[in-house]
Amino acid sequence: MSIVTRFAPSPTGFLHIGGARTALFSWLLARSKGGKFLLRIEDTDRERSTPEATEAILQSMRWLELDWEGETVFQSARADAHNAAIDRLLETGRAYWCSCSSEEVEAMREKARAEGRKPKYDGRCRERGLGPGEGRVVRFKGPLDGTTAYKDMVKGSIAVDNAELDDMILRRSDGSPTYNLAVVVDDHDMGVTHVLRGDDHVANTPKQILLYQAFGWPVPEFGHVPMILGPDKKKLSKRHGALSVMEYEKMGYLPEAVMNYLARLGWSHGDQEIFSRQELVACFSTANLGNSPAVFDTQKLEWLNGHYMKQAEPGRLAALLREFLSREMDPAELEDVPQALLLAVTPLLQPRARTLVEMAEMSRMFLVDAPYLAFDEKAVAQHLTEANTTLVLEFADVLEAHQGAFVEEDLEPLAQAFMAARNLKFKAVAQPLRVALTGRTVSPGLFETMRVLGKEQVLKRLRRVTEL
């Protein structure tokens, strides 16, 4: 039997990093077994669900390339199926109408608590044979004894005494179906065989299993992934930094880095850290999902991103670089920047930039004309002394006279010869040149920087030293 997994977010906000990880594990489980991965938007809470949140979830899924089969299912469109299922349970005697008010139910719970029992509905209406009526709900007629047990893909064997479980409400007094009922009907109708979700749902699973049994449907496999914690071991929250997947996009992370990072957060394969998408699919198994909460580590994500920045195809990064520059630069100014220049700059910055934001920032000095280059005052004071300024100007003359190609292979021997003739070490001119060309003491290699800037721009920059 081919396996079918799903991701079933409630569209009440952006897709957070924990939700994305759950989606990723479900996606990997399907892809690793040649199965199907489905998406269901659980938008039954009309007050809290918004189309913007649905769009934000879809956008994050697309960015991470978590592709799903078929149409996106909207739970709100399935009310008829949910109601038909509830009616079926009523007909087969597995559900009943209940007229108890919420005050009455609260009083039952109170009483149970006072008597040291687990607070629950006491089954008052189970055998009353009530029909529909104003203010009535439909409850599940759960078994009174026995246990409901299953083997969780992550947590191992789980069993609860049925006597501990409430006769859960299936249809509210306003006629709307409840979460547990809707999830079971939807997962069954969508053919879901494996449910991987956050462990905030672990208490729902025995109730859902009882529903499957009452319907006479096969019970899927369940797995509950522990939550993600911040470095202080508290539940990951806003104060630990970004939570939404798309915030990571904005901070300049590559989707493959986020994917790799999330996969390793609570899942392992030996001590391997770096996984391509294909490797994740090939290696994934629920057997290696960890059962203890994972701690979010921004530095590791940054390190992984640096790795993927180095690996990425320059043409792709150059296009992303333009996109990131466009978020900050005047459009007219950016329009004047040829893509060929960005393509030449990108490989110089790939080993240095850990994020696309850093890359955009580092690339700015290549894109401005000499008079607009910003200088680090301290670097100017330290390296562009009078004597060094003279050297820089003399070297500019040497470069101007050079007729060959303006590439590292020609420029480096030229600089070596220039220094040897003056009995100086190469280092003595490298930093002054770097500061004159880039405005800073740290930059990509001097000669590759010169090549990318081109002869005309290099001469302009070097000859500006007199004005600094």
**Residue 50 CB, nearest approach to ligand GLU (Å):** 14
Chain residues 336-365 in contact with ligand GLU, contact rule CB under 6 A: none
21, 31, 94, 201: which one binds ligand GLU (CB under 6 A): 201
Q: Is 244 in the site for ligand GLU (CB under 6 A)?
A: no
Q: Pick the closer one to ligand GLU by CB: 38 or 183.
A: 183
First vs last Cα of the chain: how many Å apart?
74
The yes or no reply on residue 66 touching ligand GLU (CB under 6 A) is no
Smallest distance from ligand GLU to CB 345, Å: 43
**Which residues on adjacent β-strands are paired with residue 229?**
235, 295
Nearer to ligand GLU, 24 or 183 (CB): 183
Q: Interface with ligand GLU includes 265 (CB under 6 A)?
A: no
Beta bridge partners of 222: 195
Stretch that binds ligand GLU, among 2-10, 83-91, 108-116, 448-456 (CB under 6 A): 2-10
Q: How far is the CB of 42 from ligand GLU (least distance, A)?
A: 4
Q: Which is nearer to ligand GLU, 198 or 347 (CB)?
A: 198
Does 197 participate in binding ligand GLU (rule CB under 6 A)?
Answer: yes
Which CB, 197 or 264, lies closer to ligand GLU? 197
# of chain residues touching ligand GLU (CB under 6 A): 7
Residue 42 interacts with ligand GLU (CB under 6 A)? yes
388 binds ligand GLU (CB under 6 A): no
- Residue of 210, 212, 214 whose CA lies nearest to 146: 210
Interface positions, 169-188, toward ligand GLU (CB under 6 A): 183
Which of 3, 5, 9, 193 is close enough to bind ligand GLU by CB under 6 A? 9
Q: Are strands 147-152 and 73-74 parallel, antiparallel or unpaired?
A: unpaired
Least separation, in Å, of the C-beta of 285 and ligand GLU? 20
Q: Which stretch binds ligand GLU (CB under 6 A): 4-12, 97-105, 300-308, 421-429?
A: 4-12
23 vs 360 by CB, closer to ligand GLU:
23
> Considering beta carbons, is residue 198 or 241 the nearer one to ligand GLU?
198
199 binds ligand GLU (CB under 6 A): no
Interface with ligand GLU, residue 8, by CB under 6 A: yes
Q: Does residue 196 contact residue 25 with C-beta atoms inside 8 Å?
A: yes
Nearer to ligand GLU, 7 or 324 (CB): 7
State the minimum distance, in angstroms, from the CB of residue 358 to ligand GLU.
34
Pairing mode, if any, of strands 4-7 and 36-41?
Answer: parallel
Q: Of the ranges 8-16, 89-97, 225-233, 408-416, which one interacts with ligand GLU (CB under 6 A)?
A: 8-16
Q: Which is nearer to ligand GLU, 40 or 354 (CB)?
A: 40
The interface region with ligand GLU, picked from 7-15, 92-100, 261-269, 401-409 by CB under 6 A, is 7-15
Least distance to ligand GLU from the beta carbon of 255, Å? 22
Positions annotated as catalytic residues are 238
Which residues contribute to the site for ligand GLU (CB under 6 A)?
8-10, 42, 183, 197, 201
